[in-house]
Amino acid sequence: MQKGKSLARLLYKFVLLSRLYHIAFWIVYTVFVAIAVQPGRKPAEWLMYSALILFFHGLAAYFNAYFLVNRFLYTRQIPFYILTLALTIIAVSFPISIIFHRLVNNKDIKNMVWSWNFFLIILLTVLFTVVLIMVLKLLKNWYQEEQTRKQLIQLNLETELKFLKSQINPHFLFNSLNNLYALTLKKSDSAPEVVLRLSNILRYVLYETGEGKVPLEKEVQYLSDYIELERIRLGNRVDIRFNTKGNIAGQTIEPMLFLTFVENSFKHGAAASIDHGFVDIDLDVKGHELRFTIANSKSGKQANLLNRDQGGIGLENLSKRLDILYPERHELKLTDSVDKYIVNLTLNNE
């Protein structure tokens, strides 16, 4: 199955590079015109005369699509564009009329040649071809731009995640290593636990978050390790609670989606200006619906947190990331009161 997809992809690229789709289009178009007009006695003559007629259609159509549109239409020189397009269509209409007069063995058509009605029909048919080619080219350009946009979005997400990883490492690592150093000096029993949890975090961030979605269980374990290290660092100065509810097995999620909120909560909930702070984190899973709630204490001296960068990639970038990863499948609500900051994130993780 995979080989078949690879072969189809290579064939598709070959067709694009060699412009075979142009040839395929004109073959189909020629057959259609030959059957509709029948400009000759035999089917072979139908195809030959139709191909000759459509050759001049193609000249006008490609001249318009690859020169006039770029030179005049995109530069908003509309009068020049209309004038040159009209002259182009009229120019190719004369040789088409000569072809009908000299070669086509259809008396009804020959009797109409050089009349105003016939010339008007030629003009309209050439105009139809010109418009058709231009529409097809615009659709092709739109498709290519859409693919490029999707690739850029994916690249931005990957870059964003890498940036997020680089943001967690410096300050968190320094804090954890300083705590570990202090614990080893005291010969504390907590030192091995710090090493183990820090090792788990680094393994998860560096090796398990680069391939798209991750199991929700691993994301929860990662958050748990992160929170426990903060609990060891802060001691009894901050009340920390992390509670999960529901069945998280079998679910997948985009990696490190909650980290910005968690980092922010510890940054402000454990501020030195707060005598006894708190950080409450709840993860509730009901089927494919996932609700993440985090609340932290806040000093009255702190500014409105909604207008500040929220650590890591920041709330604005995180909101964009949610819009891309969970379009119309998430709801983010932020509440900033005098002494408390609350985040409510609901995901449809189906």
Q: What is the mean pLDDT of residues 176-197?
A: 82
- Position 294, amino acid: I
> Rounded mean pLDDT of the chain?
79
Query: Is 248 part of any domain?
Result: yes
Please give the backbone phi and psi of residue 238, each rounded to the nearest 5 degrees, phi first: -135, 130
Domain around 25: 2-148
Distances 91 to 115, 120, 210 between C-alpha atoms, Å? 16, 13, 59
- Position 250, amino acid: G
Please report, rounded to a whole number, the percentage of residues in the chain having pLDDT higher than 90. Answer: 12
Same-domain check for residues 6 and 138: yes
148, 176, 196: which is the final residue of a domain?
148
What pTM, to 2 d.p., does this model score?
Answer: 0.55
Whole-angstrom distance, CA of residue 170 vs CA of residue 337: 30
The SS3 assignment for 42 reads coil
Model pLDDT for residues 96-109, shown as the tens digit of each residue: 888 777 766 656 66
Q: Is the dihedral of CA 146, 147, 148, 153 positive or negative?
A: positive
Same-domain check for residues 243 and 143: no
pLDDT in the model for residue 310: 43
Those residues with Cβ within 8 angstroms of residue 205's Cβ, 6 or more apart along the chain or in another chain = 165, 168, 169, 222, 256
Helices of type H across the chain: 2-18, 20-37, 43-63, 78-102, 107-112, 116-185, 191-207, 216-234, 259-269, 314-325
Instruction: Tell which wins on pLDDT, 66 or 320.
Output: 66
122, 148, 174: which is the final residue of a domain?
148
Q: In this structure, what CATH number is given to the domain that contains residue 287?
A: 3.30.565.10
- Alpha-carbon dihedral of residues 266, 269, 272, 273, nearest 10 degrees? 160
148, 180, 205: which is the final residue of a domain?
148
The residue to which tokens 């072979």 are assigned = 44
| Structural domain count, the chain | 2
* 8 Å CB contact between 194 and 232: yes
Please work out, in degrees rounded to the nearest 5, the angle formed at the alpha carbon of residue 190 by the alpha carbons of 217 and 293. 35
Residues in a beta bridge with 291? 284, 346
Query: Is 197 part of any domain?
Result: no
pLDDT in the model for residue 220: 92
Residue 165 has pLDDT above 90, yes or no: no
Q: What is the mean pLDDT of residues 170-189?
A: 76
Query: Is 279 part of any domain?
Result: yes
Please report, rounded to a whole number, the percentage of residues in the chain having pLDDT higher than 70. Answer: 79
